[in-house]
Structure 1
């Protein structure tokens, strides 16, 4: 099963992120994500079996033990890919608690021999895929206000023609 571990967004932050996406939709063509899919990926595991899922859940529990809520503060918009076929995202400021959580999670996954995508951590929330970024400046946008995330979840990702559907498998509360 295709899985990842992520911070869930607080309700207000998710609603304000959706408002930002609606404002962008008037200026950027692309396939905008549904608000219920918004999350901040901490570790992408890819396809794993039931045994590895159990180990990933153990690693998540261990990494979150004694952890505190994580502040989510926006840094602006960014893209991966080309201007005519980009992934558009909302950047999140890396702070010490977030960096420590990712470091601990990676260490716990490695200790259990669970593979994950080891690309450099770039905290972001995907807003749109296959986006075509305009060459003109965007208007002032309603960026979300800082909030604290308190839930780390192991998700199963099921791909469909309408986009991915994320199903929570295990959640840990921080703080």
Structure 2
């Protein structure tokens, strides 16, 4: 099964990110993602077995055991890819607790022998895919307020023509 570990967003932040997406949809062409898919990926695992999924549950328990709720501070917009075919994202500040949690999760995955995509952690929420972003067109946006997250979830990702859907498999709580 295709999986990833994510920091969950609180409902009030989901609403504010959805509002930002609505604002952007009048300025940017692209496929905006559903609010039900908003999250901050801590580690992308890819295809794993049932046995590895059980080990990942232990990883979450260990990595999250002493972590407090994580501050999420929106830090502007960003893109991956070319401006004419980009992934548009809401960047998040690289707060110490957020970065430490991602590192703890990744170190524990390594200790348990579970492989993951080792790209550098860059905290963000994906807003749109295949977006055509012209920077001069993006103005007068209302950005989400700072908030906190108190859970980390192992998700199963199922891809279809309509986009990805995510099914929570296990959640560890912070704080």
Moved over 4 A (4+): none
- Distance in 2, matches of 1:98 and 1:139, equals 28
Moved more, 160-169 or 133-142: 133-142
**Unmatched 5+ residue regions in structure 1?**
none
Which residue of the partner structure matches residue 60 of structure 1? 60
Which residue of the partner structure matches residue 88 of structure 2? 88
- Distance in 1, matches of 2:32 and 2:64, equals 31
CA shift at 1:165, angstroms?
Answer: 0.4
Normalising by structure 1, we get a TM-score of: 0.98
CA displacement 1:54-108 (0-9 Å, x = unmatched): 1111111100001100000011000000111100000001111111111111111
CA displacement 1:128-159 (0-9 Å, x = unmatched): 00000125241211110000000100000000
Which residue of the partner structure matches residue 165 of structure 1? 165
Which residue of the partner structure matches residue 106 of structure 2? 106
Normalising by structure 2, we get a TM-score of: 0.98
Which residue of the partner structure matches residue 50 of structure 2? 50
How big is the alpha-carbon RMSD for the aligned residues of Structure 1 and Structure 2?
A: 0.8
**Unmatched 5+ residue regions in structure 2?**
none
